[in-house]
Amino acid sequence: MKITSYIEKDIESGLYVAIVPSIPGAHTQAETMDELLKNLKEVVELCLEELNPEERKSLPEFIGVQQLEVKI
DSSP for 10-48, please give it.
-TTT--EEEE-TTSTT-EEEESSHHHHHHHHHHHHHHHH
Write down the pTM of the prediction. 0.81
- Please report, rounded to a whole number, the percentage of residues in the chain having pLDDT higher than 70: 100
Q: Which residues pair with 30 in a beta bridge?
A: 16
What the chain holds in terms of domains, given with CATH numbers, is 6-57 (3.30.160.250)
pLDDT tens digits for 3-55? Answer: 899 999 999 999 999 999 989 899 999 999 999 999 999 999 999 999 999 99
Q: What is residue 58's DSSP assignment?
A: T
